[in-house]
Amino acid sequence: MSGQILPKKHHPIAPQAAPGTLADEILKALMFRVGKNANVATGHDWLNASIKVVRDRIVTSWIDSTERTYKAGGKRVYYLSLEFLIGRLMRDAFSNMGMLEEVREALASLGVDLDVIAELEPDAALGNGGLGRLAACFMESMATVDVPAHGYGIRYVHGLFRQEIHDGNQVELPETWLEHGNPWDFDRRERAYEIGFGGTVEAQTNELGQPSGNIWRPQERVLATAYDTPVVGWRGKRVNTLRLWSAIPIDPILLDAFNAGDHIGALKESNKAEALTRVLYPADSHLAGQELRLRQEYFFSAASLQDIINRHLGEYEDLTSLPDKAAIHLNDTHPAVAVAELMRLLLDSHGFQFEAAWDITRRTFGYTNHTLLPEALESWPIHVFEQLLPRHMQIVYAINAELLREARDKGLDDGQIRNISLIGEDGERRVRMGNLAFAGSHSINGVSALHTDLMKQTVFSDFHQLYPNRINNKTNGITQRRWLFQCNPALTSLIRETIGDRFMDDIEALQELDRFADDASFREKFAAVKRANKERLTRVVSERMGLNLDPSALFDIQVKRIHEYKRQLLNIIEAVALYDQIRSHPERDWVPRVKFFGGKAAPSYFNAKKIIKLANDVGRVINNDPAVRGLLKVVFIPNYNVSLAEVMMPAADLSEQISTAGMEASGTGNMKFALNGALTIGTLDGANVEMKEHVGDDNIVIFGLTAAEVKDARTNGYNPREAIENSPELSQALSAILSGVFSHDEPERYRGLIGGLYEHDTFMCAADFDSYADAQRRVDDLWRDSADWNRRAVHNTARMGWFSSDRTIRQYAGEIWDVPA
Ligand SMILES: *Cc1c(COP(=O)(O)O)cnc(C)c1O
């Protein structure tokens, strides 16, 4: 923002408020809960005080929801996720409580601007990208559709790194979201569980000398303590809990060491415990691989299971009824070790026989697969797994024996048995977490229709043959509260004026907007909202980057994690080709365009970082070339996160969803853009396929190979060099980059990245280039007829209601969890 923090530090007279008013409550909270008066309060203090006042009302509803669930004796959902990319919470919670405007007015009466203090709230980035954001949307939707649910994850001290761009390169800085404390969470010190690592397993015998189970004697122990954040559903009817675990050392051990004079040893232990939850691994769709990651996975899975079992046994006799009262969901394989942990608890602590334990486990767990990329399929070397979790290793072998016996009985061949095995035998023996999650769950779902089909044909084809009813589809969704109501209040108001408020409780009623697409006066209002949102983004870019953009240009946006399969490179190469065309054909009627890029690269992902550098290099040259006459700009906005997404989605004319077909499981950025009235240029990948069906073929621009064609090209020996040589535009663009047009200081800079395309082009950039460039010129044609463009944009907003995460959650509730919604 402008740097101005209201209120002025010293009021001549402290503001007053009539007793009993919200303003008065805020002043009291400032006084008695923050410990300041209005004369000295900073922006953070006002933010804190406002949150505390609304939080009190949330807590009332929270306790009420908890009691309601308890009395009903119904089933609860437990959503285990190593990531929750929640972003800022204030606007979300205030708005869902129906208090946003009331608080705004109360603060205004005290001389404080809500929008200014809102900017001070840290963006909680406890996730990398789509997977973590999905978990956050799901939490909000579960509360909204009245599913009693707990989210379980880790309270990382440092979320995803903050990205700065220095000289065109990504620089990673630590994220310090807890710097000013966290007014949202409740420290539940009394909710603490011991978590063990390492050590040995002792076989037990009874009085008769017969084997009677196994006891794990861990060598290390840490304590998991809970922090709870209330998650408010729409209209505040239900408030659920997001419970995040933090690791602390177990005091007695430390005291012993301390008393024995081993001060350094005691500190080391303490550091080791705290290191567990210090930082989120910044790899998206990529295996993190380090032992610390497995420790994190086990730590939060084990703490969550103890908590779930504890709650269950507080209400019911024993764990036989667990599957009827608890649906535990694994968000990807990160918590898959929970399958082995539940088995261990049932076998070793609760006296179940293997068969009964396995039955309970499978009826309790569900698993969502998020990617087919081989580099993201988690597996752990046997020796790492065994050393850290010796008892779990035994249990994995026992499960595997049972699984493979079943597979053999059903006639699967040796190759199939090898694929299904929980232990990968090619090269180093490894525990396959995807197979463990599959074997231990009654439901395995993909996240779009296409992804689910591919899952059946590829990674899990043999499992699918063994258990033909387990794989199902649940196409992802987004919460319209955050991704329309909050981030685009002007569009929300316009829709309310036009079709009334019904869509605010039933998002599919947005369809009623469809018939206004032909109403010229409505279209003009719709376009005016888009224009204002583009101006807002323009201001952000000008403040952060000192770059002035023309809001009347076509705003073409690609924001998401930087990954080769997402093909930011294809987009950049097209920009270079367009640049060349604009210079060679100045007489043509070019559509002014701004191409925005944003996204973080995993710190160790070499090519992704090169792509960021290239976007910045290309931008610098194009933006400063007078021959372009401002017709094309290329902008890389640093530090893409949820809060920035909230500004970008409403400001987009064109959404870039251009992954190599078959590689993006679903995407959710695609949904956020279209809901806010952007047209999509995209491949038939992930949820784009279903978006096309919903918005209609005329209102989306599709190009490129299909997933089946990509597969064929790969099996039939795709020749990228030939594809490049057959495309003069592409050849020219690649030669320009290779010859150092954008990197005079280091002409060889892109030899690996671009030169590599001629050799392998794993992601089919060359194969799709001409089709993509043609599609972009079709976009230009559509843009020239603004009435027609706006008609299509309205259809996008009107027809995206189905992509609400409320719909997704109702499907999970009915078809996987067996809970009412
Ligand atoms: C929605 C979202 C994502 C996911 O974007 P995709 O385009 O689906 O990869 C990633 N990061 C943030 C901050 C988001 O809001």
**Residues 452 and 554 occupy one common structural domain:** no
**Does residue 3 have a pLDDT over 60?**
no
Shortest CA distance to 721 belongs to which of 688, 681, 758, 684?
A: 758
* Ligand 1: residue whose CA is nearest its atom 4: 130
Query: Helix axis angle, 765-784 relative to 786-799, nearest 10°?
Result: 110
Q: What is the pLDDT of residues 428-444, one digit of tens each?
A: 999 999 999 999 999 99
Q: What is the pLDDT of residue 11?
A: 53
28 included as an active-site residue: no
* Mutation test residue for ligand 1: of 131, 447, 561, 663, the one with most atoms within 8 Å of CB: 561
Distance 448 CA to ligand 1 centre (A): 16
Q: What is the mean pLDDT of residues 468-497?
A: 98
Q: Are 635 and 762 part of one and the same domain?
A: yes
Domain containing residue 682: 546-783
User: Of ligand 1's atoms, which has the minimum distance to the CA of residue 666?
Assistant: 8
DSSP symbol at 5 = -
Instruction: Report the percent of the chain where pLDDT is more than 70.
Output: 97
Domain shared by 78 and 187, yes or no:
yes
Confirm if 326 and 78 have CB atoms less than 8 A apart. Answer: yes
Mean pLDDT confidence for 708-712: 98
| Residue 329 annotated to the active site | no
For the CA of 642, the closest atom of ligand 1 is: 13
For residue 589, what is the domain's CATH number? 3.40.50.2000
pLDDT in tens, 142-164: 999 999 999 999 999 999 999 99
The predicted model gives 207-214 an average pLDDT of 80
pLDDT interval class at 411 (50, 70, 90): very high
Does one domain contain both 203 and 334?
yes
Catalytic-labelled residue, pool 238, 344, 370, 534: 370
Whether residue 599 is found in the same domain as residue 695: yes
Residue 370 among the catalytic residues: yes
Distance 83 CA to ligand 1 centre (A): 13
The number of the ligand 1 atom at minimal distance from the alpha carbon of 667 is: 8
Tens of pLDDT, residues 582-630 = 999 999 999 999 999 999 999 999 999 999 999 999 999 999 999 999 9
Check whether residue 464 and residue 587 sit in a common domain: no
521 domain residue, yes or no: no
Task: Categorize the per-residue pLDDT at 377 as very low, low, confident or very high, splitting at 50, 70 and 90.
Answer: confident
In a domain, 100, yes or no: no
User: For atom 11 of ligand 1, which residue has the closest CA?
Assistant: 129
- Categorize the per-residue pLDDT at 522 as very low, low, confident or very high, splitting at 50, 70 and 90: very high
Q: pTM of the prediction?
A: 0.96
Is there a domain that residue 253 lies in? yes
Segment 454-462 mean pLDDT: 97
Ligand 1 atom 6, closest CA? 669
- CA-CA-CA-CA dihedral for 71, 74, 79, 80, to nearest 10: 80
> What is the separation of C-alpha 489 from the centre of its chain, rounded to a whole number of angstroms?
23
Q: What is the DSSP string of 80-102?
A: E-S-EEEE--HHHHHHHTT-HHH
Q: How far is the CA of 534 from the centre of ligand 1 (A)?
A: 19
For the chain, report the end-to-end CA distance as a whole number of angstroms: 40
**625 domain residue, yes or no:** yes
User: Is pLDDT at 12 greater than 60 in this prediction?
Assistant: no
At 261-270, the pLDDT tens digits run 777 766 777 7
Give the model's pLDDT for residue 4.
44
- Average the pLDDT over 158-173 and give the result: 98
More confident residue, 572 or 266: 572
667-692 average pLDDT score: 98
Least confidently predicted of 246-250, 392-396, 495-499:
246-250
Residue 557 to residue 156: CA distance in whole angstroms: 30
Catalytically annotated residue among 52, 481, 567, 672: 672
Q: Which residues of 105-129 are buried (b: 16+ CB within 10 A; e: fewer)?
A: ebbebbebbbebbbebbbbbbbbbb
The answer to whether residue 561 is catalytic is yes
Q: Which is the closest atom of ligand 1 to the Cα of 125?
A: 13
In single-letter form, the type of residue at position 98 comes to: G
Q: How many residues does the chain have?
A: 821
Residue among 648, 668, 672, 685 whose CB has most ligand 1 atoms within 8 A, to mutate: 668
Instruction: Please tell me whether residues 583 and 671 are part of one structural domain.
Output: yes
Task: Map residue 117 onto helix, strand or coil.
Answer: helix
Confidence of residue 728 (pLDDT cuts 50, 70, 90): very high
Do 457 and 605 share a domain, yes or no? Answer: no
User: Residue 757's pLDDT is what?
Assistant: 97
Domain assignment present for residue 317? The answer is: yes
Q: What is the mean pLDDT of residues 576-584?
A: 98
CA of 717 to the centre of ligand 1 (A): 33
In a domain, 580, yes or no: yes
pLDDT digits 0-9 by tens, 188-209: 988 899 999 999 999 888 788 7
Per the residue annotation, which of 44, 286, 566, 633 is the catalytic one? 566
With the most atoms of ligand 1 within 8 angstroms of its CB, the residue from 559, 649, 656, 664 to mutate is 559
Burial of 437 per CB tally in 10 Å (0-12, 13-18, 19+)? buried
* Same domain, residue pair 201 and 327: yes
From residue 157, give the alpha-carbon distance in Å to each of 183, 221, 286, 350, 428: 15, 20, 22, 35, 34
Active site residue 9: no
- 129 CA distance to ligand 1 middle (Å): 5
Average pLDDT, the chain: 95
Task: Kindly indicate the confidence band of residue 1, based on its pLDDT and cuts at 50, 70 and 90.
Answer: very low
In the predicted structure, residue 556 carries a pLDDT above the cut 90: yes
For the segment 304-316, the average pLDDT, to the nearest whole number, is 97
Residue 683 pLDDT > 90, yes or no? Answer: yes
Residue nearest to atom 9 of ligand 1 (CA): 560
Q: Output 440 or 253, whichever has higher pLDDT.
A: 440
Marked catalytic residue, from 660, 668, 683, 808: 668
787 pLDDT higher than 50: yes
What's the pLDDT at 258? 63
- Ligand 1 first shell, C-beta below 6 A: 129-130, 133, 560-561, 641-642, 645, 667-669, 672
Domain annotation covers residue 240:
yes
- pLDDT tens digits, one per residue of 358-372: 999 999 999 999 999
Average pLDDT (749-755) is: 97
Query: How many domains is the chain built from?
Result: 2
Residues 284, 371 contacting (CB under 8 angstroms): no
**In this model, does residue 61 exceed pLDDT 80?**
yes
454 and 596 assigned to the same domain: no
Regarding whether 448 and 346 lie in a shared domain, the answer is: yes
Residue of the CA atom closest to atom 15 of ligand 1: 642
**Both 205 and 311 in a single domain?**
yes
Q: What is the pLDDT of residue 126?
A: 98
The pLDDT of residue 445 is above 90: yes
- pLDDT confidence tier of residue 2, bands split at 50, 70 and 90: very low
Taking 60 as the threshold, does the pLDDT of residue 723 lie above it? yes
Residue 762 annotated to the active site: no
**Is residue 14 one of the residues assigned to a domain?**
no
pLDDT at 671: 98
